[in-house]
Structure 1
C-alpha cells in the first residue's frame, strides 16, 4: 500500500533480486511513483516537470509484471482472511502485505482560518502545482514553521521575489532537528536574503477577506498582511488503517529490525514505520531511510535474514546553500563548529557522551563525506585535531 519512494524501492529491489512473485501496488495518487524532494525546490520553481520526476515510465511496470493501481486506496485490512478492501469496493487477497503509506502534513484548524483560500501545504505534486500558481513577485507570504520544509519553501518564495515572513513557536528554527549552532547559521543565511524570521512566535489566527487569507494575527497581538500562507508544522504518520487492523502503532507503525509489524505477514516501511535504532524507537522521515529500509526488507522477503541497521543521512537545498547531514543528532550534549576551506563553508559536529553521532555540513562536501565515513566506522576523531581548520579532514580517517 502506497506509491511513494519506499513502495517503489521495495518493488524495484524485489525484481532486481529475481523475486517474481505477483506484486500489486495500490497508490492513492493519480501519478506513477515520483521523487518528492524536488517538489519544494526545482519543481516549485518550474525548473523540472513531473515526467522528469518519475522513477520509471509506465512501461517499466508492465515489463516487470507489476500491477499498479493509481487513484485507489485501501479502506480496510482483514488480517484473518488476508484480504484488503479497495476504495472501488473490490477486494484483494495477499500473502504478504507492506504498508508504505507515508505521512500527511499537519494542517491548521478551520477555527483559526486554516480552511481559507491561499493556505497551502506541500506534500505531493498537486500541492506544489497549487502553490506555484501563487508564487508571484511582490506578494507577501507567511511561512508557519521553521523546519526544513518551511525554510525550503521560504527560500523558493524569496527566490521568486516574494516578501517572506517565517514564524516559529519554538525558541529557534530547526529546534527539533538541529543544534543551536546550525540554527544560527541557517537563520543568518535566510536573513541575508531578506527573510523576516520571528522565533518564539505563534499564530493566533488567520484573517480572511471574501474567503481568502489576507492577514495573520500573531500570538503577540500584531497583525501582518499575507497574500498566501505556507504551513510547515510537521507531519503525522498514516497509521490509522494499521491501527484499525489491530497492529501496534504510536504515531507510526511499530516494526522490528526486519520491518515486520506485530503480524508476521505484514511489514511497514518508510515514513510510516517506527523502527528500532540504538536502543530507541524512531521514525526517520528521509529519502535515504525509505530506500535503504525498503531494499533491506525486500531482501528479507526474497529469503534473506539480515536486519536493517539505519545509517541516517539527509540533505536540504536552500538558495545556493547545500546542507548535508550525516548521522542523527538526537540527544547530543556538545557540538563543535569547524570552518571549511571555502568561503561560506562550515560544519557542525555533534557528540553525545564524548562520541561522535552526527555532522551537519553547510556547503562543505569534504566535511560531510569524512563525517559519514567516521560514523559508519564507529570512530570518534581527536577533538583537538577536528577543531583545527588547518588539519586536513582526511587525516582523521587514518
Structure 2
C-alpha cells in the first residue's frame, strides 16, 4: 500500500534508475516512486547491447532489469516514452514532454549519457549507426547479420571498448571490418601503448583491419546509402555501414536548466555531486553515467560510464534520498568480452597518474594481470583470461600499500600475500 505522504521522482529509467527504485522499496519507503524514461522499453542493462545480445548469444528478454509486471507489483509508477523537458527546483516540479507536471520531495537524476556524433559530411546517410539504446542494438544486430551474409563492410570510427566489442561481434557474423582510430593503438589513453597492442593483435588475428593515426572526414554514398569513408590522411575505405563509437557525453540538460553545479567538460563533465551523490540542491541527487562524484577513496572527482557504477550508484543514491549515511567509495570496475578474451578492470589510472605498469602471467598468450602503479601503490589492475582475482585486486587498491613490483610480477606469489 502506497502512502502518498512523500513522492520520490527518478528521471532516467536505465539500470541506475531502476535499481534506485528497487532499493527504495527494499529499504521500506512507502511513498510514491515515479520512474520516468524517454524510451518505450522497460529498464534494461546496456552491456549486452555490445556483448551477448549483439553477438546472438543471449535472448533479447535477458537484458531487462526486472520482468514487466514487477513495477506494478511494487507500486513503481512508470512513465515510459516520456522525456522530462523542464526541472524547477524552486517549485520542486518536473514537466514531461506531454505537459504533465509532477511534484517531488526528492529527485534523482539518472539521465545517463548519449553517444557523441561524427561532425562530418554524410552522417545523414542510411547505414550510419550509434550504439547506446536497445533499439540501436536491434537495428545493428540485423545489419551485422546482413553484412555477414553478403560479405559486406563495416567501418568503425573509434577503437574504444564499444568499437572493439562491435568489431568482434561483426567478425562473428562474417562481416569485413575496418577500425579507424586517431591514436596509435586501441584503448590508447586507457591502457597505454603496450597493453593496447594486445587488442591490436587480438583483432588482427580475427581479420579486423586497423587504420591508426587517422580520423574520418567524410562518409560518401549514393541514393542515400553508404559506399565508402574518407580519412584525413587521404585514404578511402569501402563501407556499407559505419558505426560511430567515439565516446559518450553526459546528459546534463536538465541540470543546466535547474542551475545545478556542473563539471567542466574538459574535466570529464557531468553533474557535480558529493560522496553521498547529492547535487548542489539538497533535494536533488544524481547517479550513473551523469554523476561526477567526489570519490572518498581515490581523493578526486570522478565520472564513471560503466555498468557497475549504475548498478551500485543507483542504490547508494536511493539510500541517501532516504536520509541514510552514504559514502559512495566503490572501486570503479568494468569488463569486456571480445572473441575468446575476457577481461575485468578495477581502479582508476588516468594518463600521467602512474609511473609503472607491471604484468604477471603471459601477455603473449593473453592470460595475465596488469597493474598500474604510482610510487609502488596499485592504482588499477586488469585481469585478462585470469579469473577470481577481482577481490584481491580491489583490496590492493583500497589498501594504498606500496608493493614490491618484482614480487607482484611473479605469478607464484599469491596476491593475498600483499594484504597480510
TM (normalized to structure 1)? 0.96
Q: Is the 8 A contact 1:338 1:388 kept in 2?
A: yes
Choose 307-316 or 264-273, whichever is displaced more: 307-316
Distance 1:197 1:230, change over 3 A: same
1:341 to partner: Cα distance = 11
For 2:323 and 2:171, the matched residues in 1 are separated by 50
Residue 240 of structure 2 corresponds to 227
Residue 71 of structure 2 corresponds to 61
For 2:192 and 2:47, the matched residues in 1 are separated by 23
For 1:9 and 1:181, the matched residues in 2 are separated by 37
Residue 209 of structure 2 corresponds to 196
The answer to whether the aligner puts 1:95 opposite 2:105 as a matched pair is: yes
Residue 255 of structure 2 corresponds to 242
Q: Specify which of 22, 46, 61 is matched with residue 51 of structure 1.
A: 61
The answer to whether the aligner puts 1:356 opposite 2:346 as a matched pair is: no
1:279 to partner: Cα distance = 3.3
Q: Is the 8 A contact 2:379 2:397 kept in 1?
A: yes
Task: Name the SS of the counterpart of 1:56 in structure 2.
Answer: coil
Residue 315 of structure 1 corresponds to 335
Q: Specify which of 127, 131, 142 is matched with residue 133 of structure 1.
A: 142
Q: Is the 8 A contact 1:169 1:202 kept in 2?
A: yes
Residue 171 of structure 1 corresponds to 184
1:322 to partner: Cα distance = 0.5
1:228 to partner: Cα distance = 0.7
Q: Specify which of 359, 365, 384 is matched with residue 406 of structure 2.
A: 384
Residue 85 of structure 2 corresponds to 75
Q: Is the 8 A contact 1:248 1:254 kept in 2?
A: yes
The answer to whether the aligner puts 1:119 opposite 2:128 as a matched pair is: yes
Q: Is the 8 A contact 1:327 1:357 kept in 2?
A: yes
For 2:61 and 2:389, the matched residues in 1 are separated by 34
Residues matched between the structures, number: 397
The answer to whether the aligner puts 1:305 opposite 2:305 as a matched pair is: no
Q: Is the 8 A contact 1:181 1:337 kept in 2?
A: no
Choose 127-136 or 298-307, whichever is displaced more: 298-307
Residue 294 of structure 1 corresponds to 314
1:178 to partner: Cα distance = 1.9
For 1:61 and 1:367, the matched residues in 2 are separated by 36
1:373 to partner: Cα distance = 2.7
Q: Is the 8 A contact 1:181 1:348 kept in 2?
A: no
For 1:25 and 1:368, the matched residues in 2 are separated by 33
Q: Specify which of 274, 296, 305 is matched with residue 285 of structure 1.
A: 305
1:6 to partner: Cα distance = 0.5
Question: 1:8-19 counterparts in 2 under 5 A?
Answer: 8-19=18-29
Q: Specify which of 12, 16, 22 is matched with residue 2 of structure 1.
A: 12
Task: Name the SS of the counterpart of 1:179 in structure 2.
Answer: helix
1:389 to partner: Cα distance = 3.1
Task: Name the SS of the counterpart of 1:156 in structure 2.
Answer: helix
1:114 to partner: Cα distance = 1.3
Task: Name the SS of the counterpart of 2:189 in structure 1.
Answer: coil
For residues 265-321 of structure 1, the C-alpha deviation after alignment (integer angstroms, 9 at most, x for no partner) is 111110011111233222101111112222222222223113211311110111111
Residue 199 of structure 2 corresponds to 186
Give the alignment's Cα RMSD to 1 decimal. 1.7
Residue 213 of structure 1 corresponds to 226
Distance 1:387 1:128, change over 3 A: same
What are the ranges of 5 or more consecutive residues in structure 2 without an aligned counterpart?
1-10, 264-268
Q: Is the 8 A contact 2:332 2:348 kept in 1?
A: yes
Q: Specify which of 276, 280, 284 is matched with residue 262 of structure 1.
A: 280
What are the ranges of 5 or more consecutive residues in structure 1 without an aligned counterpart?
none
1:340 to partner: Cα distance = 4.9
Q: Is the 8 A contact 1:23 1:66 kept in 2?
A: yes
Q: Specify which of 150, 175, 181 is matched with residue 163 of structure 2.
A: 150
1:367 to partner: Cα distance = 4.5
For 1:5 and 1:22, the matched residues in 2 are separated by 19
1:83 to partner: Cα distance = 0.9
